Amino acid sequence: MGTVRTRSKPERRQNRQEENRREAAPRNAAPPLTPAARIETLAGDPSFMTSLARGLTVIEAFSGNRHHPTTSVLSAQTGLSRAAVHRCLYTLRRLGFVDSDDERHFYLRPSVLSLGYSYLYSAPLASATQPVLERVSRFLHESCSIATLEGDSIVYVARSPVTRIMSVDLRVGSRLPAFCTSMGRVLLASVSPEKLRAYVAQLTLTRYTDRTIASKEKLLRSLPLVERAGYAIVDQEFEIGLRSIAVPLRDSSGTVVAALNASTHAQRISLQEMQTRFLPALQAAAQELSLLLAPEAGARSFALAPAHQNDR
């Protein structure tokens, strides 16, 4: 009778990692549409202004560039032709939103901030939450943020930074993947099961660290637990060393319109302290804010497909 070989711990660990990679691999997932392709899906609508959409797409493309991009770079990022990008840049430059020092490299001018300020001054979610957010941040001595769900990302609409603990420079308007962030988990947990399953089916889950939940089934199993608990803790799934906790932010009708979180360095704050000290402070702030927010204070409903699927 032969002996059964027992696998060593490194072998078992390697097998588990291989299984996780197979689970995370997208199955026949359609490649994300470029911004230009998304615009084309709407071009048949007689009320849709294609030129306006292209101009806004070019403005958004600047956010991914630390250096002054050229027409060719913006064309590659957006999927628009260089001629279309050139016309957009010419128009934006005439309007004072864009400029260039050498007619080749372009940069946004401060006047483009007026577009964002229009939202900040008019949206009750952004204007009503900032004082409360800053008070919680001072109490916890940690950075606190509020975000909504847009497609497959969370978008920061208010932020009170204390110390920078991430390699990513977060500010109002920044985007992070929803599936592996505490605010994203809280927001996804509020979506109905039918819409949530369809939503998750279209996602491409990236394994940012060895702690990232990159399996769609595991993600779907985790979200009902978040809903029942009323909060989400994400421990170093997006970036090693980053630990965060989030609670839902509801309007006066009880509808989840955003998420409120506090983030810290994993070596500084334990998971237990996040539950015993951070959670009560965030819950009290969320309850206070719910009295200030009118129904539909958030942006659009986040029971939506990912951004690259919305326009199909």
pLDDT per residue over 73-118, tens digit each? 999 999 999 999 999 999 999 999 999 999 999 999 888 877 776 6
pLDDT, tens digit (0-9, with 9 covering 90-100), for 140-167 = 999 999 999 988 899 898 899 886 555 5
Architecture label for domain 35-113: Orthogonal Bundle (1.10)
Cβ atoms of 239 and 208 closer than 8 Å: yes
pLDDT of the residue at 298:
46
pLDDT of the residue at 166:
56
Q: Walk across the sheet containing 143-150 and list its strands.
A: 175-177, 153-160, 143-150, 256-265, 242-250, 232-235
Fold matches, 35-113 and 123-292: no
- For residues 196 and 191, give the distance between their C-alpha atoms in angstroms, rounded to a whole number: 6
Banded model confidence at residue 312, pLDDT cuts 50, 70, 90: very low
Which carries the bigger pLDDT value, residue 293 or residue 30? 293
Phi and psi dihedrals of 215, rounded to 5?
-105, 130
pLDDT of the residue at 34:
86
Cβ atoms of 189 and 223 closer than 8 Å: yes
* CA-CA-CA-CA torsion sign (152, 304, 213, 244): positive
Dihedral through CA 253, CA 190, CA 283, CA 270, nearest 10?
A: -170
The full set of domain ranges for the chain reads 35-113, 123-292
- 123-292 adopts what CATH topology? Beta-Lactamase (3.30.450)
Rounded mean pLDDT, 33-40: 86
pLDDT of the residue at 38:
87
